[in-house]
Amino acid sequence: MPRKAISRQLRDEVAQRANHRCSYCQSSHAVGVGMVIDHIIPISAGGDNAPNNLTLACFRCNNFKLNHLNAKDPETSEIVPLFNPYTQEWHKHFAWSQDYTQTIGKTAVGRATIGLLKLNDPWWMGARRL
Ligand SMILES: [Zn+2]
**What's the mean per-residue pLDDT of the chain?**
93
Task: State whether the Cα torsion 84-86-91-92 is positive or negative.
Answer: negative
**C-alpha 94 to ligand 1 mean position (Å):** 13
3-class DSSP state of 16: helix
Please tell me the distance between residue 30's alpha carbon and the centre of ligand 1 in angstroms.
12
Between the CA of 22 and the centroid of ligand 1 the distance, in Å, is 5
Rounded to 5 degrees, what are φ and ψ at 2? -65, 145
The arithmetic mean of pLDDT across residues 21-34, rounded, is 85
Q: Write down the pLDDT at residue 4.
A: 80
Average pLDDT over every residue of 95-114: 96
Q: How many angstroms separate the alpha carbon of residue 4 from the centre of ligand 1?
A: 24
Q: pLDDT of 44-103, one tens digit each?
A: 999 999 999 999 999 999 999 999 999 999 999 999 999 999 999 999 999 999 998 999
DSSP per position, 89-125: -HHHHEEE-TTSSSEEESSHHHHHHHHHHTTTSHHHH
Task: Please state the domain extents for the chain.
Answer: 8-129
pLDDT of residue 30: 65
- Give the whole-angstrom CA distance, residue 22 versus residue 96: 15
Q: Is the pLDDT of residue 1 over 70?
A: no
